[in-house]
Amino acid sequence: MKYEPIIKLSLKSHSELTERWVQDRIAENPQILGLGDVVLKDKERIQPRAGRLDLLLQDAEASHRYEVEVQLGKTDESHIIRTIEYWDIERKRYPQYEHTAVIVAEEITARFLNVISLFNGTIPLIAIQMSAVQLSGTVSLLFTTVLDEARFGLVDEDEELQEVTDRAYWEARGSKATVAMADEVLKLVAEFAPGLGVCRS
């Protein structure tokens, strides 16, 4: 028996598999993102003076919403800023829900993953890497969570306290260049969403 090879596709350079096509596939079955039992609330949701949110998903049995931004190719600064901006707008408009920002991209580089991880805990954020493969003429999308939302609980008396994660900690864990890049992204966040409280050590 002859087996057909699985071909990995580049969505960024594909003439037919556009960002809108990806959005439509997620809208048809939002659970493929791996966020749990979620349903589609809106697509291409207009944001006041800020463009359109790709997808708004909601937990089917809880008051939790996910602001999802899709990007073909590598993630970049504007993608991060746009995702955080739309998350901030939605949480202010609908404070009765919990909100989580979700970045979906074909490639989330280690550099940007480090920057995104600096926000995690302050801004509830999930990063998902997607890939497209073709087998027997059928294209499938695969989604892998590379950074999950940080969830914090109370510290019990028998638990050890974690070390302080201040600026020096992040410079030692990553690099001064990565932390400086996070500073620049924070400045951009402040321009788009001045009321957003981001803790800085």
Decide if 201 contacts 165 (C-beta within 8 A). Answer: yes
pLDDT 10s per residue in the chain (201 long)? 566 677 777 777 787 878 898 899 999 999 999 999 999 999 988 887 778 899 999 998 889 999 999 999 888 888 888 889 999 999 999 999 999 999 999 888 888 878 777 776 688 889 999 988 887 778 888 899 988 876 655 555 555 555 666 677 767 777 777 777 777 776 766 665 555 544 444
**pLDDT score of 193:** 57
**pLDDT score of 81:** 86
**pLDDT score of 200:** 47
What residue ranges define each of the domains in the chain, with the CATH number in brackets? 7-147 (3.40.1350.10)
**pLDDT score of 151:** 60
User: At which residue do the structure tokens 């996910």 appear?
Assistant: 66
**pLDDT score of 28:** 92
Say how far apart CA 137 and CA 4 lie, in whole Å.
10
* Helical packing angle, 77-93 and 176-192, nearest 10°: 40
Helix residue spans in the chain (DSSP H): 19-28, 77-93, 110-119, 167-173, 176-192
